[in-house]
Structure 1
């Protein structure tokens, strides 16, 4: 269910609290700046009135004030924008930090189902678009309200008629028109942000899969998918531009209409002897000049639809509840035998595991053999407490996983995934992910156990060789061995290995199996594979059947 624009704005404004003093300064500078801008237009009217014999301000003083107001307008506007952008960029950094923190809590259970392209859009373009809100939305609203109130106070010295006309004009241009346009554009703005994220995701997928696209001649189909997304995005963009054009036309017409109404009503009042011709002239000029703040407010609706849509997407990430919460403040647990009792788990309506039972003995290698899709990887993720079991339990040394501090549980386990993620960094730092403060000697020892020693020694820069983005400089087997080296470096009492040799040749597989056999004397090793040859080092092998149901 989508939240209202007012609620989105209120939640975004709530983030300004730490910088409220700077926001107040921006508003005050903005009000003073608009007063100066209005003065540049209105003071000539006072000068003319003085020439015509009406006693307001001497025309020479009025001209001097015009020059001063013009200079101050520039300085005050600069100060206002500096404050607003300082707030915006400070808050964008804060929001990015909050989003990354939220994503960390959501991972990995809720992250696996999310499209990476959409997440990138939230982290980049959506958050960046909030700069418009913080730098060009919050203070203009306050400035428009305060400046309009001051102008109404000035007009009240000429009588009730100018005040009523001006108030109706301000409300119409600054409130009614933006609300009408915003209401019509809210759905279009969200559609645009969603279409943008979808196209971003498609492009991201195609870039990641460019080798397969070229190999199998899938280029036309890939291009068609991108083209389809581009057409949808352009359609949403055209709708937004059409709304923007209509809003500008309606706003311009409303300003001219209310200026004309002010002239007619004041002139009628003058004819009835209530106002003087000088008051009629000055009231009309003030009306014309004072629409600046509310016009700025009205123009906000042009980008506000997209901004609020981006804000809602960001807030949705911040508010999304993780499926698994970190456990803290529990007593320190001792590692021991790992037991799985009557464990059941499923994704949505699909049942993956049903009443399974395992016992992983300390100092033993336990193999889990099964075809793809039978739930082997899911079991490892449940052992890591990446997901919560639907029923049954997992215990370590007779202590439920849910009663073990998450940080301690991570220290107890080393997890080698099927696809090792490689960062665009040196080989040394990629291995050191498992232990950031590890010495070079520790890293080399782990690399040797993973069969990487000879390979790294032949590289021009050795351990300081940069792997490239996504490890493009490494083969699949080399990436997998870096993942295994991380597990050895982490040196935890339990190793969870998900198809650890699927990309390795027979020589390297044999080498790593020997290393694992040696390590198992002190560790609990869970070895998952669909290849029977991998199970040669296992002390005990369980076979899992494919029994998925919905």
Structure 2
């Protein structure tokens, strides 16, 4: 119930719908019991089992409530029908129809109001999960499969609605229906009701035993669903490579193995779950059978119960079966929902290691420079940077070069605070970036990466991502600086053209120029370029490099470069090896030193 309580806190904003649901469920349960109880005096009168009363009975206290109710109904039927028994029959039918109509109206109203609560909670959990997914650091997703996260926000949240939130419909209605029905049953025959309740704990024990392993089986099903969704996500992302390497059959086999496991796990789960209904129904009919024997004996042999009361009593006993079965299914739902809630709450309750201080500084200007002092950082166990220091003065272009794995991209990730340093300080204008609000830090920085990450939207909306209120003129000006305006103008719908999922309708160079236009429009004082030209052909590289040079004018730029020809004009070139600076200076200066930088330049020249 721990997870159930945690999910219930999302229902607090919708408590008025919950209270209305409870109110109408009380009325439903009451009329559900009354609809059967009303039959007793009617049957007595119609079939001449009771002497007709011509004067109204007197109420003598709660102890004689049953007799008063039966005598009063006898009196009303007698008054209405007189000597015409068919009029009495019409009254019986009319009263039963009215009671059942009211019962079903109240049932509908109870379900009507709970719908707003259920769907509201579903919406709020999904919204909070999406917000959390955005807030969690990039490192979180290096440990989690994307498909598994998608499964949690879709099917797991839906499972919570089907299980936990469905219980809210049952938690008041079904117990109250049972309680009101049992009260009426006690009023009719306490002896018969006590006899029935000897069998109920036995039935409950059997149902409980069936459901014990349900949570474990459900957890396996949901985890496997996350796995095959991950395979689908990876397949769609890498379809070109899969086809190029004729790896369709390999991926199909991996997917098939996952769905095969899902098939077996689901079968076990559903077969266990499906056992609840027939077991509950058989146990209910068993109780009815015992009732027929014991009650029939009371009517026919002992003469301690009249036939009309026994008929109504059997109707009430059967009336308990439906809510009892619903509660039995609900207990299975709790176990199944537990597994889903655990997976959803794991994300919602994950603590973000990149914490913003309570009174974080909102910094709007950049004045002197970036300082990296004695920084050490590791992704897992091995340090990528150790005791690393670097000064980036305002207005300068600092290029980071070195072999793969030397720590270049790590520095970009630390400056933008996608990760936090393990030791040391990164400061902007002498202020530790941990003291800045994440929003103001990222407002000060622009990022252009090697992989042009674009979204399935129009050209305009992709460029205006960091500045939603940008005017048409500002968007076009940014596109012109990025050498993107010409190709955008040639698109079928210009700036309104949809670029497809991840920009698949554009070439690599076009995508990169849109990324640059996006950064230009944001107009940050600090620009981080992470191997922005490494994946381009010569013609695209020339256009992109020209766009980058335009963008970097009058800005502080940190350039991570793979192609050394693109950073020869940098103010400072920093050469990294295994997270340490081995050389730094201008291009001519470093070439004259004939050290690691010159070797890198010569290797690239030879390769080209």
> Which secondary structure does the structure 1 equivalent of 2:574 belong to?
strand
Larger Rg: 2
- Selected match of 1:474 from 484, 495, 506: 506
Alignment-derived partner of residue 275 in structure 2 = 246
Alignment-derived partner of residue 53 in structure 1 = 49
- Selected match of 1:364 from 382, 386, 396: 396
Report Cα offsets for 1:32-85 as digits up to 9, x if no partner.
Answer: 335545555565565444425147345634322221133233322322221122
- Selected match of 1:62 from 92, 115, 121: 92
Alignment-derived partner of residue 3 in structure 1 = none
- Selected match of 2:216 from 152, 167, 187: 187
Report Cα offsets for 1:94-118 as digits up to 9, x if no partner.
Answer: 1122112222221433234322212
How far apart in 2 are the matches of 1:451 and 1:172? Answer: 79
- Kept in 2: contact 1:450–1:515 (CA 8 A): yes
Moved more, 342-351 or 53-62: 53-62
Indicate whether 1:293 and 2:323 are aligned: yes
Indicate whether 1:227 and 2:256 are aligned: yes
Alignment-derived partner of residue 13 in structure 1 = 8
How far apart in 2 are the matches of 1:52 and 1:421? Answer: 85
Write the mapping of 1:279-318 to structure 2, written as runs, cut at 5 A. 279-318=309-348
Where do 5+ consecutive residues of structure 2 fail to align?
52-69, 78-87, 581-608
Report Cα offsets for 1:488-539 as digits up to 9, x if no partner.
Answer: 1111111011111123233443344344445444221000022222222211
How far apart in 1 are the matches of 2:198 and 2:410? Answer: 64
- Kept in 2: contact 1:46–1:62 (CA 8 A): no
> Which secondary structure does the structure 2 equivalent of 1:537 belong to?
coil
- Kept in 2: contact 1:22–1:83 (CA 8 A): yes
Report Cα offsets for 1:435-479 as digits up to 9, x if no partner.
Answer: 111112221222122221221122222211111122111122222
Indicate whether 1:496 and 2:528 are aligned: yes
- Kept in 2: contact 1:423–1:469 (CA 8 A): yes
- Kept in 1: contact 2:43–2:308 (CA 8 A): no
- Selected match of 1:379 from 411, 424, 430: 411
Alignment-derived partner of residue 103 in structure 1 = 133
How far apart in 2 are the matches of 1:337 and 1:171? Answer: 75
Alignment-derived partner of residue 25 in structure 1 = 20
- Kept in 1: contact 2:512–2:544 (CA 8 A): no
How far apart in 2 are the matches of 1:185 and 1:132? Answer: 15
Indicate whether 1:129 and 2:159 are aligned: yes
> Which secondary structure does the structure 2 equivalent of 1:16 belong to?
helix
Alignment-derived partner of residue 183 in structure 2 = 153
> Which secondary structure does the structure 1 equivalent of 2:212 belong to?
helix
CA RMSD across the alignment? 2.6
Alignment-derived partner of residue 233 in structure 2 = 204
- Kept in 2: contact 1:411–1:492 (CA 8 A): yes
Alignment-derived partner of residue 465 in structure 1 = 497
Report Cα offsets for 1:133-158 as digits up to 9, x if no partner.
Answer: 46522121211222222122212223
- Kept in 1: contact 2:372–2:391 (CA 8 A): yes
Write the mapping of 1:286-435 to structure 2, written as runs, cut at 5 A. 286-333=316-363, 334-335=365-366, 336-435=368-467
- Kept in 1: contact 2:214–2:273 (CA 8 A): no
* Post-superposition offset of 1:164: 3.1
Alignment-derived partner of residue 541 in structure 1 = 573
* Post-superposition offset of 1:283: 3.0
Report Cα offsets for 1:285-307 as digits up to 9, x if no partner.
Answer: 32122222222121234554443
Where do 5+ consecutive residues of structure 1 fail to align?
1-5
Give the number of equivalent residue pairs: 542
- Kept in 1: contact 2:400–2:561 (CA 8 A): yes
* Post-superposition offset of 1:24: 2.3
How far apart in 1 are the matches of 2:207 and 2:429? Answer: 63
In structure 2, do the counterparts of structure 1 residues 465 and 282 end up closer, same or farther at CA, with 3 Å as the change threshold? closer
- Kept in 2: contact 1:105–1:325 (CA 8 A): no
- Kept in 1: contact 2:27–2:106 (CA 8 A): yes
